[in-house]
């Protein structure tokens, strides 16, 4: 074995022994970019904004998640979270609450783009990653506010690609990422990330044959290329 072969063998051994990222690492990296989104649908919802937390939560019309993609406060979320809302409220990672407005929609992919009217001083946008090269079996982490609780993390794998999904009351969505990380109502609009904390999709729905709206093992996300296009971005 010559010197070059020895060096190559050493490099391979070092890479094999290097610490691999975990779901905890992914959660910590994406967390500063995750926001709680609330679509207030009625005047009663708006009136409850000043009440104590438990009353306010009970009054909120639509509760979901969003992810910051531009440091000026541009946020991606699901259209069904904010559609028809009289007022949209977002809460950032540091607890700052702000009003937001819809600046773009893409109904065919159930996506909405929000602009927060006030942002933290140290707001960090998420890192987006192309879905090119991702495969069934690759680990992913979903971060959001299931049932308004969070931010919460759940880990799993990509189960399939280019899936089609039709949810109750909404159009058929296609070219979706299927995954098995647990998600529930409130996760909608949140990021699906790799173990490196890079966003590959926006969670949009969960498959459920019952009316209970609880997770049974199949979730769907819009590929980040489609989501970025909704915001007028071409990141790849």
Confidence (pLDDT) at 17: 61
Query: What confidence tens digit (pLDDT) does each residue in 193-229 have?
Result: 999 999 999 999 887 756 666 677 889 999 998 877 7
Catalytic residue among 33, 36, 45, 110: 110
Distance CA 119, CA 108 (A): 29
The reply to whether 110 belongs to the active site is yes
Direct distance between the N- and C-terminal alpha carbons of the chain, in angstroms, rounded to an integer: 41
Distance CA 62, CA 46 (A): 12
Q: Is 134 exposed, middle or buried (0-12, 13-18, 19+ CB in 10 A)?
A: middle
The reply to whether 138 belongs to the active site is no
Please, what are the domains in the chain? 28-116 (2.40.10.10), 139-230 (2.40.10.10)
Q: Tokens representing 157?
A: 């794998």
Catalytic residue among 33, 152, 154, 188: 188
Confidence (pLDDT) at 44: 54
Query: What confidence tens digit (pLDDT) does each residue in 21-35 have?
Result: 999 999 999 999 999
Query: What confidence tens digit (pLDDT) does each residue in 89-126 have?
Result: 999 999 999 999 999 998 888 899 999 999 999 999 99
Confidence of residue 165 (pLDDT cuts 50, 70, 90): confident
E-strand ranges in the chain read 34-40, 62-70, 74-78, 87-91, 97-106, 111-116, 139-144, 152-166, 172-179, 191-193, 199-206, 219-223
Q: Tokens representing 9?
A: 């063998």
With 0.75 as the threshold, say if the pTM is over it.
yes
The reply to whether 154 belongs to the active site is no
Distance CA 194, CA 87 (A): 32
Catalytic residue among 36, 45, 80, 159: 80
């Amino acid at each position: 074995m010559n010197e070059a072969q020895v060096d190559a063998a050493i490099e391979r051994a070092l890479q094999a022994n290097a610490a691999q990222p975990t779901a905890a690492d992914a959660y910590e990296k994406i967390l500063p970019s995750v926001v709680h989104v609330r679509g207030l649908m009625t005047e009663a919802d708006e009136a409850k904004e000043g009440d104590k937390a438990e009353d306010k939560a009970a009054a909120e019309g639509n509760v979901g998640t969003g992810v910051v993609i531009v440091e000026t406060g541009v946020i991606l979320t699901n259209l069904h979270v904010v559609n028809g809302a009289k007022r949209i409220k977002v809460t950032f990672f540091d607890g700052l609450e702000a009003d937001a407005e819809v600046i773009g929609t893409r109904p065919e992919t159930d996506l909405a783009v929000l602009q927060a009217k006030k942002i933290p001083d140290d707001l960090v946008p998420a890192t987006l990653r192309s879905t090119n090269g991702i495969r069934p079996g690759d680990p992913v982490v979903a971060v959001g506010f299931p049932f308004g609780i969070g931010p919460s993390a759940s880990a799993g794998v990509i189960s399939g690609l280019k899936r089609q999904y039709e949810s109750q009351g909404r159009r058929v969505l296609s070219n979706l990422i299927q995954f098995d990380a647990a998600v529930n109502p409130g996760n909608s609009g949140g990021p699906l990330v790799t173990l490196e904390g890079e966003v590959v999709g926006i969670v949009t729905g969960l498959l459920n044959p019952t009316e209970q709206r609880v997770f049974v093992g199949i979730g769907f996300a819009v590929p980040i290329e489609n989501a970025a296009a909704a915001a007028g971005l071409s990141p790849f």
